[in-house]
Structure 1
Amino acid sequence: MSDRPNLVRRTPWPESVSRAVTTPLQPSVVYSSPDPDALDDQYEGRAQGYTYGREGHPNADVLAQMIDRLEGGQGGLMTGSGMAAVTATMLGLLGQGDHIVAGDQLYGRSLRMLSRDLPKWGITATFADPTDVTAIEAAIAPNTKLLLIEAVSNPTLRLADMDGIERLARDRGLILVVDNTFTTPYGFPAYARGADVVIHSVTKLLAGHSDVTLGYVLARDPDARTAIYDTIVTLGLTPSPYDCWMAERGLYTFDMRFERAQANARALADLVAGHDAVEAVLYPGRSDHPDHNRAQALLGEAPGNMVSFRLAGGREAANAFTRAAPQLAFAPTLGDVGTTFSHPASSSHRGLTPEGRAALGITEGFFRVSVGCEPIALLTRDVTAALDAVAAIG
């Protein structure tokens, strides 16, 4: 036997009468139990513990509990991305022959999943205007089981008739799923307002720094939670401990980031609206928004940090805008600490036909802005220069 020290056996964690102020990062894939009886106790619910990383880990639970407090619920589940949260919900709660009624302005990949991917599993969907509850009701079929709605649409920032849709779901016995990524619990408390399932892309505003990819699902019914959890584990949609740890850090400043970004968004919307290069501005906090009255009732004093606008001049104008402001991040995301600009026609909604985009009001000159926390004077300077460049091309 070699005289070299054996380092294979794990060194016990040091005992301490003090504890870390920050949450420890726990990247372990597996967890050791004392004996088979103890493992049975964990799997059968008589004891709390961890077994295998794909089935759950401490960093995911810590983060989920924080978001639970924001939403006012219990038992939220973390996933590897926002789309993983949508996937786990749809496949966990639906089966062959079931039908979905969904808002017609969902996130682009959600639209693709419902229209192209779920039909392979025998699940179909009909899309309807969420601003009109009668349109949602007309789309309901005998086999409809679930409604999927975003309170504020992506990217046109239209306001769904959430009160009417919630009543409709309750009266018809349908599962109401709300993707609350845009609004966040600060803008719209979806769970408290009657949603059966709430989804977040934590990647966005909640984490807030464009350095993690995560999703979250909160289900009101325990059986629904179990079905979603089983789907997460079976399909391997579990999140990384590191991403959960990073998102927890970001979440501690969420309220401050949200308020600063929202104040900047109000100012930016007014600035853009007054420029000759801009055909139209959409911001729920402005009185000229087509759903302004509903925005006041739904969002109150929290119209959010998202602004959309349409440039005259189409793709040429869009290129001129982005090239004139290289310091502004042109990127298909939202919720970063800094302002980002997205061009839906070439990113999130590129999978739609030009006619399909036009029906939603998404032109080649359409931009969606996720307003960040930088000094408003800096943002104003850069955006004005970009708009002036658009105006200069005539």
Structure 2
Amino acid sequence: LVFIETVGNPTLRIPPIDDIIKICGQEGCTVVVDNTFATPVIYRPVEAGADMVVESMTKYIGGHNDVLGGLLCSNHIKLKESIWEWRKLTGTIIQPLDAYLVARGLKTLHLRVKYSSKAAMEIAKWLADRPEVVKVHYPGLPDHPDHSIASRLFDGLYGGVVSFEIKGGAVAAKKFLNALKTIVPAPSLGGTESIATYPYESSHRNLSEEEKRKLEITPGLIRLSVGLENVEDLIADMENALKTSQG
């Protein structure tokens, strides 16, 4: 079994998914792809030959930060039948209200993903020119190490998440988060609201310092999930917070 992410969290590295799927097919391996960050709007791993695809419906698919859920899909009949049987036995069945909320989110998924992706590109370019920012992680930028892979695989969009490192480490990062007014400091992504997360002490807090260093998860790293607000409002909020972070 080979398990990969379309877009890695939080530095947004992108593996050569099509090549991995091809090699695994030759070796008889089952490939599972977590496609949460890309969503089916940007990339569809099953069409590329993945055996199974996992999506967090809590994130972009639900899209409103008000539902918990996940999905697993496959083109393989026997695989789907075994998963369906396991689901019946374990009782992992979504509640009616949650199912309704997910169905509601699907209606606007393509609109939300396209808007947040275009807004994220604009914000990433703006951040790249800021003196307070050490590095920007966004696959839509030409200097991202996996830009060529993203350009080959994705449908002209690079996702609604941008990560960036602020000068001054943990102290500056926390000043930045505390100074935000429009953007919400919280550990999630993919909703209508823009959310800023501090991976060093949240999602990746249990990693060793050496592991964090290798993954470029520094004390100054911020992960931004771009929502549906006006881009100018988000930039103004971040500009004020960046200036505050260096004070």
- What is the TM-score normalised by the length of structure 2? 0.96
In structure 1, distance between residues paired with 2:76 and 2:147: 33
Matching of residue 361 in structure 1 with residue 216 in structure 2: yes
Which runs of structure 1 show a deviation greater than 6 angstroms over 4 or more consecutive aligned residues? none
In the alignment, residue 303 of structure 1 is paired with which amino acid?
Y
Q: Deviation digits for residues 284-325 of structure 1, max 9, x if unmatched?
A: 111111111111101141111111111121110111101111
Q: Give the alignment of 1:25-104 within 5 angstroms.
A: none
Matching of residue 195 in structure 1 with residue 50 in structure 2: yes
Structure 2 residue corresponding to 1:183, chosen from 10, 16, 38: 38
Contact 2:63 2:191 in 1 (8 A): yes
Structure number with bigger Rg: 1
In structure 2, distance between residues paired with 1:339 and 1:220: 34
Query: Which structure's relative contact order is higher, taking Cα pairs within 8 Å and 6+ residues apart?
Result: 2
Task: Please give the root-mean-square deviation of Cα atoms over the aligned residues, in Å.
Answer: 1.2
In structure 1, distance between residues paired with 2:209 and 2:187: 19
Partner secondary structure for residue 163 of structure 2? strand
Q: Which runs of 5+ in 2 are unaligned?
A: none
Report the alpha carbon displacement of residue 237 of structure 1 after superposing the two structures with TM: 2.0
Q: Give the alignment of 1:257-272 within 5 angstroms.
A: 257-272=112-127
Report the alpha carbon displacement of residue 377 of structure 1 after superposing the two structures with TM: 1.1
Equivalent residue number for residue 208 of structure 1: 63
Matching of residue 302 in structure 1 with residue 154 in structure 2: no
Report the alpha carbon displacement of residue 274 of structure 1 after superposing the two structures with TM: 1.0
Contact 2:67 2:98 in 1 (8 A): yes
Q: Deviation digits for residues 343-374 of structure 1, max 9, x if unmatched?
A: 11111111212221111110111111111111
Q: Deviation digits for residues 9-56 of structure 1, max 9, x if unmatched?
A: xxxxxxxxxxxxxxxxxxxxxxxxxxxxxxxxxxxxxxxxxxxxxxxx
In the alignment, residue 20 of structure 2 is paired with which amino acid?
I
Structure 1 residue corresponding to 2:227, chosen from 361, 372, 375: 372
Contact 1:202 1:213 in 2 (8 A): yes
How many residues end up aligned between the 2 structures? 247
In structure 1, distance between residues paired with 2:121 and 2:150: 14
Partner secondary structure for residue 289 of structure 1? coil
In structure 1, distance between residues paired with 2:80 and 2:121: 38
Report the alpha carbon displacement of residue 327 of structure 1 after superposing the two structures with TM: 3.3
Equivalent residue number for residue 172 of structure 2: 317
Equivalent residue number for residue 152 of structure 1: 7
Bigger mean CA offset, 195-204 vs 213-222: 213-222
Structure 2 residue corresponding to 1:166, chosen from 12, 21, 28: 21
Hey, which of these two has a bigger chunk of helix by percent? 2
Structure 1 residue corresponding to 2:136, chosen from 281, 288, 304: 281
Report the alpha carbon displacement of residue 331 of structure 1 after superposing the two structures with TM: 0.8
In structure 2, distance between residues paired with 1:329 and 1:180: 24
Equivalent residue number for residue 389 of structure 1: 244
Equivalent residue number for residue 342 of structure 1: 197
Contact 1:147 1:175 in 2 (8 A): yes
Q: Which runs of 5+ in 1 are unaligned?
A: 1-145
Contact 1:273 1:281 in 2 (8 A): yes
In structure 2, distance between residues paired with 1:352 and 1:233: 35
Report the alpha carbon displacement of residue 181 of structure 1 after superposing the two structures with TM: 0.5
Bigger mean CA offset, 225-234 vs 302-311: 225-234
- What is the TM-score normalised by the length of structure 1? 0.61
Contact 1:276 1:391 in 2 (8 A): no
In structure 1, distance between residues paired with 2:91 and 2:167: 45
Report the alpha carbon displacement of residue 173 of structure 1 after superposing the two structures with TM: 0.5
Q: Deviation digits for residues 108-140 of structure 1, max 9, x if unmatched?
A: xxxxxxxxxxxxxxxxxxxxxxxxxxxxxxxxx
Matching of residue 217 in structure 1 with residue 72 in structure 2: yes
